Amino acid sequence: MPSPSLTPQDHAFVDRLLAQMTLDEKIGQMTQPEKNSVRPGDVARLALGSVLSGGGGNPEPNTPASWRAMVSAFQDEALTSRLNIPLIYGVDAVHGHNNVVGATIFPHNIGLGATRDAELVRRIGRATALEVAATDVRWSFAPAVSIPQDLRWGRSYEGYSQDPAVVSALATALVEGFKGEGWRSPTSILPSVKHYLADAATTWGTSRRVDRTALNTDRTLATAQMGQSTVELLDLGAWQIDQGDTEIDEATLRAVHLPPYRAAIEAGALNVMASYSSWQGLKMHAHRYLLTDVLKGELGFEGFVVSDWEGIDQIHPGDYGRCVVDAVNAGIDMVMVPFDYERFITCLRGAVQAGEVSETRIDDAVRRILGAKVALGLFEQPHTDPALLSLVGGADHRELAREAVAKSLVLLRNEGGVLPLDPSGPAVLVAGPDADDLGAQCGGWTISWMGGRGPTTTGTTILAGLRAAAGAERVHFRPDGHADQTYPVGVVVLAEDPYAEGMGDREHLGLSDVQLALLARVRARCERMVVVLLSGRPLVITDQLPAWDALVAAWLPGTEGQGVADVLFGRRPFTGQLSFDWPRSQASLRRGGDEAPLFRMGDGLSEKAPLLVG
């Protein structure tokens, strides 16, 4: 099934260029280092195919303009290489151009799944593409098409839903948004459909990413800058399930986890990222059957497969040469080698010269990479229009994000119709430090890899949104919940600590003692209490729920917190619907058990609930 993104002329152009390339130039195209590792001149000298910014791989100062200056400089250098092959710069723009201070940050995928609104997600994809392209970047490692099976997984919020049909529809919409008027348009960005395959179906306890006895926190994990120590995080469950082993049978693998890839490829996606996880004990990065026979053969995928960050290193720990051989032979076309890129180049060159990797395989990989660059028009227009910078974090995109926030909120309890609140009614108490914390409402993958609390970027906190809606005099903020009067209504905002990837794996999903004490204080001073949860996944709140008059799942809404106020004060209706079952207890955090969920996928009290997809 030919990809709709490549024409016969494109293929002919690629073949002509390939015929001129040396082995080293071909291997250079297969190499993707992180921008902090690249030595001046190496992009041109080695004909590097790509450079990336990892989570938090930001220029200093972190502004849209300095991002553009950095990326454009890499591209300018690439164009001086012998064959003037443009590079393609990659970032994790997974909920807006989220590394960039001042960019619009949209709700994470779990919130977008609750909107069921493919048209909205397409518009978000378009807005994201414009902000990414403004910085001369033409590739985002999104959408994740993960279908989380166990909410203890720290990447649950990167999944749209537990329902493959919802994931397929929204992922396709994002790809279409990234594409815009066409891949050749200089405001399109290459999507990376990830992480292939079944990254979200691993079994708790099977991750080998961190050796608990050796505490091998390597240089990658050292960049995580989490608030707690590694030991504390490991004791909470960090790195127990992320990057682990998926033990499901092939029928389930195909029925549940493959459809979103088929859908995204049919929409024209030309990149797939391999998963760190394994399937039945074999690392996906070395899985020839799934990477080559199924993805490239059966699904007809004509794009290229990129490894994850040091993903090939996990195939045979300690034997990098074998990692390179097995990964490339399995079907990895470009290797994300953030640090030691020359070691990779040397190993692959040696493998080809030793006949362990064929030139045919190398040519196939490079043909796929060059094809994607041709499809994006990078040879004709290696730079985007700097005028796009005026769109980054602009009013239109923030208004779109505000709409998305409002549509993502799910009302799960509303005793006595306490919501919506009356913006001209009596004063309300707002409690919880996270009510006024932009970093808490954005979550992971925001400015830094893990994200973090505080004014990490620009936007509107929930508190600021509430005050704008009802007037500051009607919104009394007591972060610790100690109120010197009673109130008819109290609103408590509770957030998970920001996290990403396996750092967010948690054995237990409940509220902290500090949060429970805050709730008790507010409960004692307010006739009615509304709880707003900022979380990357459903939390176990069954025992606490009866004392709450209302519960709003707000997920990780991003920078436009006024979208929460819009719904709490009735400016917009509640329309969100759960895209995951909500577990009743810690015993049912993994799907498939006997215990009935507290709430089911599709639940959500609302004035109108247009079930648009899934």
**Site residues (vs ligand GLC, CB under 6 A):** 54-55, 92, 141, 194, 308-309, 501
Task: Kindly provide the residue ranges of all beta strands, DSSP E only, lying in 416-557, ordered along the sequence.
Answer: 428-431, 475-478, 487-495, 526-534, 550-553
Shortest Cβ distance from residue 306 to ligand GLC (Å)?
9
Q: In what order do the strands lie in the sheet with 282-283?
A: 245-246, 278-279, 282-283
Q: Minimum Å distance from CB 158 to ligand GLC? A: 8
Nearest approach, Cβ of 279 to ligand GLC (angstroms)?
17
Name the phi and psi angles at 50, rounded to 5.
-160, 155
Minimum CB–partner distance for residue 312 and ligand GLC (Å): 13
Nearer to ligand GLC, 309 or 487 (CB): 309
Whether the bond between 143 and the residue before it is cis, its omega within 30 degrees of 0, is yes
Cβ–Cβ under 8 Å, residues 267 and 189: no
Closest CB to ligand GLC among 272 and 374?
A: 272
Under a CB-based contact definition with an 8 Å cutoff, are residues 200 and 146 in contact?
Answer: yes
Q: How far, in Å, CA of 173 to CA of 125, rounded? A: 8
C-beta of 55 vs 432, nearer to ligand GLC: 55
Rounded Cα gap, residues 400 and 424, in angstroms: 26
**Of 92, 136, 308, 560, which one is the catalytic site residue?**
308
Euclidean distance between CA atoms 38 and 139, whole angstroms? 18
For residues 303 and 72, what is the distance between their CA atoms, to the nearest angstrom?
A: 24
Helices (H), 425-475: 438-442, 462-470
Place of tokens 């209490």: 529
Residue type for 345, please? Answer: I
CB proximity list for 589: less than 8 A, separation 6 or greater: 150, 151, 152, 509, 540, 583
What's the farthest any 2 CA atoms get from each other in the chain? 79
| 8 A C-beta contact, residue 137 and residue 392 | no
* Tokens (6 digits) for 611: 């079930």
Which CB sits closer to ligand GLC, 183 or 445?
Answer: 445
549 among known catalytic residues: no
Question: Looking at beta carbons only, is 273 or 532 nearer to ligand GLC?
Answer: 273
Please report, for residues 162, 264, 287, 385, the alpha-carbon distance to residue 194 in angstroms, rounded to integers and kept in the order given. Answer: 15, 10, 15, 28
Q: Residue 55 or 86: which CB sits closer to ligand GLC?
A: 55
| Nearby residues of 138 by Cβ (< 8 Å), 6 or more positions away | 88, 89, 132, 188, 189, 190, 376, 378, 384
556 vs 564, which CB is nearer to ligand GLC?
A: 556
Of these residues, 117, 158, 434, 501, which one is catalytic? 501
Q: What is the smallest separation between the CB atom of 38 and ligand GLC, expressed in angstroms?
A: 15
Minimum distance, C-beta of residue 57 to ligand GLC, in the bound complex (Å): 8
3-state SS, one letter per residue, for 532-567: EEECCCCCCCCCCHHHCCEEEECCCCCCECHHHHHH
308 counts as catalytic: yes
Alpha carbon distance 354, 437 (integer Å): 56
Give the residue with the Cβ less far from ligand GLC, 434 or 501: 501
Helix (H) or strand (E) holding 124: helix 118-134
Nearer to ligand GLC, 193 or 518 (CB): 193
Shortest Å distance, C-beta 308 to ligand GLC:
5
447 Cα distance to chain centroid: 13
Residue 92 or 302 with smaller CB distance to ligand GLC: 92
Q: How far is the CB of 242 from ligand GLC (least distance, A)?
A: 9
Q: Which residue has the tokens 């909500």?
A: 582
Q: Which residue has the tokens 């005026």?
A: 390
Rounded to a whole number of angstroms, the minimum distance from the CB of residue 90 to ligand GLC is 8
Q: Are 438 and 454 spatial neighbours (Cβ–Cβ below 8 Å)?
A: yes
Minimum separation from the CB atom of position 193 to ligand GLC (A): 11
**What is the C-alpha to C-alpha distance for residues 104 and 100, in angstroms, rounded to an integer?**
9
CB distance 310 to 52 below 8 Å = no
Residue 293 CB, nearest distance to ligand GLC (Å)? Answer: 24
Q: Which two tokens stand for residue 437?
A: 């914390």
Select 108 or 413, whichever has its Cβ closest to ligand GLC.
Answer: 108
Catalytic center residues: 308, 501
